[in-house]
Chain A
């Protein structure tokens, strides 16, 4: 079932009684989710992503715009008639019911011709429980389960009615780091096995990138960019997206373009074709640095963090917007750094990998494309 959002807008009346301006939680959303895909709705907290999810679920009614499931307009349908499954951040399991009863609960609401016999219900419950691999925990109460197990029960409960669309609201944020990785792989597996169109809300970019077919990056109710995770990472549409994706985060500098050269601080760091002279923000991914004796980009060395697979060189630069500049280098560079560490005020020289360098307009913060690739 594909999901289409057309001009979807949600305004809330302002909490502040004095100002009568509405808060626009979701501003003019237009996008299409192809059938059977997993979409990550990504943004910092308060960006309206949960509101967007609740609009799709029907728990909230949009101020403007329409929602289509397939070709059917579901905008005015109540949640129970939309054929959706919803998983909450805190799982929302009924604490007084055991696992089996929790999964059974949605089926017992069916009325009329949809009503199932007891054995049919049980069959469906077992099927859903098997899918998420909790069929051996059926008699336990939610409080007797670990966070990961509770999450599986919540997913099973959302899936038991065979929804057309599965909605997950921050499903991993209450789990510890190890379980989070395990569970997100699990969600990916279940989604691929069932082929249900899935929308996944998260503030964790790593989470979204790792399992989504496509990600939608949001800020203050406005979609910033939609695309495949790698594509968005490699080619952010604006400074916000560039900063939001990637760990460690992108390094941002103030710079300027002058006669086809990119100048950061006092260094001319790159040759740039086809960009008029202007003030810019320069974003450089940590992996975009290469240490070279004759590198054109100079930074004062602060410390070196050894991570095993690679090393992180932390330095400072007067033009940097962030307090420190972080470069990630492969371990081959170890020797040359050891020599420099002893002295105060050692400078390191980098040259830059041009596809890891992004320019953004200082005013609009929009991406300025350069070079022949034109990414």
Chain B
């Protein structure tokens, strides 16, 4: 200590400034890290709690007046319960079908539309594009009412067709893809034309491969949207055979396991959250990039 004081006395003015600046910087960094960590805990804690609760046994959970932050006797019993007492497997399967088919059909529809807008010339193209753009501003909630009536009248309630058809079109993705297509130089198209490439072949062999990153982004965003969709499936299905996971989990909550079985409920929550979390962990760079390019939730 004594030595340090002497050292300080011998310091020049510059060194003093330097030292206080360094100290200040350090304090700021420490505070920043603390705040960021606090938020990280807030974000992660519900996930931790969900996993933790799901491995506590029913009796152990209910016996804890003060919930414990860990468990020494994890059990998989709740997961068994989640799959047997309610048709969770069915919900997952339905959601998988719904997600895959909707995403695939959407990709075809928007790719063709984006190609038409970006590459082809036809009468009424500009008018049509304005119509598409204006549809981006219309909230889905306005369309849902009529769609509900349409699907009901067409007798498509409780069917995959009723679930999927109104969900396949996304004006925003058409727009995103069209912008991407337009960045491909015209000369590539003319080169292909000179070689006798048809428009469709040019789309399949040149434009789609070049735009793969954008298509992957759109696919991921749509998969997330489909997997988490709740409102439309809730309106259009009342037969549990056609429930998606969101409706399933709501059903479980309201009249699920016959009694308030929170651990089993949490097991179900873990099961339905896991696929997307895994997807996110693998593709987190792509997903975040895609969302920051203009996605919004839902």
Partner of B194, one of A84, A90, A91, A95: A84
Q: How many residues of A contact B (CB 8 A)?
A: 26
A residues in contact with B204, CB < 8 Å:
none
Does the CB pair A94–B185 fall under 8 Å? no
With A95-B210, A96-B210 given, is the CB distance from A59 to B190 under 8 Å?
yes
With A96-B209, A96-B210, A109-B201 given, is the CB distance from A80 to B187 under 8 Å?
no
Does the CB pair B187–A88 fall under 8 Å? yes
With A92-B185, A96-B209, A96-B210 given, is the CB distance from A109 to B196 under 8 Å?
yes
Does the CB pair A90–B196 fall under 8 Å? no
B residues in contact with A54, CB < 8 Å:
190
A residues in contact with B193, CB < 8 Å:
59, 79-80
Does the CB pair A92–B196 fall under 8 Å? no
Main secondary structure of the interface of B (DSSP, over half): helix
B residues in contact with A91, CB < 8 Å:
187
Main secondary structure of the interface of A (DSSP, over half): loop
Does the CB pair B206–A57 fall under 8 Å? no
Partner of A80, one of B196, B205, B206, B212: B196
With A95-B210, A96-B209, A96-B210 given, is the CB distance from A90 to B197 under 8 Å?
no
Does the CB pair A106–B210 fall under 8 Å? no
A119 contacts the other chain (Cβ, under 8 Å)? no
Q: Using a CB-CB cutoff of 8 Å, which residues 71-94 of chain A contact chain B?
A: 78-81, 84-86, 88-92, 94
Does the CB pair B188–A94 fall under 8 Å? yes
B43 contacts the other chain (Cβ, under 8 Å)? no
> Residue on A with the closest CB to B198?
A109
Distance in Å from the Cβ of A96 to the closest Cβ of chain B? 4
With A95-B210, A96-B209, A96-B210 given, is the CB distance from A80 to B185 under 8 Å?
no
What separation, in Å, do the CA atoms of A79 and B197 have in the docked complex?
10
What separation, in Å, do the CA atoms of A58 and B194 have in the docked complex?
8
A105 contacts the other chain (Cβ, under 8 Å)? yes
Distance in Å from the Cβ of A83 to the closest Cβ of chain B? 10
What separation, in Å, do the CA atoms of A91 and B206 have in the docked complex?
15
A residues in contact with B195, CB < 8 Å:
80, 105-106, 109, 161
> Residue on A with the closest CB to B212?
A96
Q: Using a CB-CB cutoff of 8 Å, which residues 148-185 of chain B contact chain A?
A: 185
B31 contacts the other chain (Cβ, under 8 Å)? no
B residues in contact with A85, CB < 8 Å:
194
A residues in contact with B188, CB < 8 Å:
92, 94
B residues in contact with A105, CB < 8 Å:
192, 195, 197, 205
Distance in Å from the Cβ of A84 to the closest Cβ of chain B? 6
Does the CB pair B191–A92 fall under 8 Å? yes
Does the CB pair B197–A59 fall under 8 Å? no
Does the CB pair B196–A88 fall under 8 Å? no
Does the CB pair A86–B194 fall under 8 Å? yes
Q: Using a CB-CB cutoff of 8 Å, which residues 142-180 of chain A contact chain B?
A: 157, 161
A residues in contact with B196, CB < 8 Å:
78-81, 106, 109-110
Does the CB pair B187–A89 fall under 8 Å? yes
> Residue on A with the closest CB to B197?
A109
Distance in Å from the Cβ of B45 to the closest Cβ of chain A? 44
Does the CB pair A79–B194 fall under 8 Å? yes
What separation, in Å, do the CA atoms of A91 and B212 have in the docked complex?
22
With A96-B209, A96-B210 given, is the CB distance from A88 to B197 under 8 Å?
no
Distance in Å from the Cβ of B278 to the closest Cβ of chain A? 28
B residues in contact with A95, CB < 8 Å:
210
Does the CB pair B190–A92 fall under 8 Å? yes
A residues in contact with B201, CB < 8 Å:
109
What separation, in Å, do the CA atoms of A51 and B205 have in the docked complex?
27
What separation, in Å, do the CA atoms of A105 and B193 have in the docked complex?
11
Does the CB pair B187–A90 fall under 8 Å? yes
Distance in Å from the Cβ of B199 to the closest Cβ of chain A? 12
What separation, in Å, do the CA atoms of A67 and B194 have in the docked complex?
16
B residues in contact with A90, CB < 8 Å:
185, 187
Distance in Å from the Cβ of B230 to the closest Cβ of chain A? 38
> Residue on A with the closest CB to B186?
A92
Distance in Å from the Cβ of A59 to the closest Cβ of chain B? 5
Distance in Å from the Cβ of A143 to the closest Cβ of chain B? 12
B residues in contact with A161, CB < 8 Å:
195
What separation, in Å, do the CA atoms of A110 and B191 have in the docked complex?
15
> Residue on B with the closest CB to A160?
B195
> Residue on B with the closest CB to A110?
B196
Contact with B along A91-111 (1 / 0, CB 8 A): 110111100000001100110
Does the CB pair B197–A92 fall under 8 Å? no
Distance in Å from the Cβ of B269 to the closest Cβ of chain A? 41
A residues in contact with B212, CB < 8 Å:
96
> Residue on B with the closest CB to A58?
B194
With A88-B187, A89-B187, A109-B201 given, is the CB distance from A94 to B206 under 8 Å?
yes
B residues in contact with A110, CB < 8 Å:
196
Does the CB pair B210–A88 fall under 8 Å? no
What separation, in Å, do the CA atoms of A97 and B197 have in the docked complex?
16
Q: Which of A59, A86, A92 has the most CB of B within 10 A?
A: A92
Distance in Å from the Cβ of B184 to the closest Cβ of chain A? 9
B residues in contact with A97, CB < 8 Å:
209
Q: Which of B191, B194, B205, B212 has the most CB of A within 10 A?
A: B194
Q: Using a CB-CB cutoff of 8 Å, which residues 63-104 of chain B contact chain A?
A: none
Q: Which residues of A contact B (CB under 8 A)?
A: 54, 57-59, 78-81, 84-86, 88-92, 94-97, 105-106, 109-110, 157, 161
12 A-B contact pairs sorted by A residue (CB < 8 Å)? A59-B190, A84-B194, A90-B187, A91-B187, A92-B188, A92-B191, A94-B209, A96-B209, A105-B205, A106-B196, A109-B197, A161-B195
A-B CB proximity, top 9 nearest: A80-B196, A106-B195, A92-B187, A92-B191, A88-B187, A96-B209, A109-B196, A86-B194, A79-B194
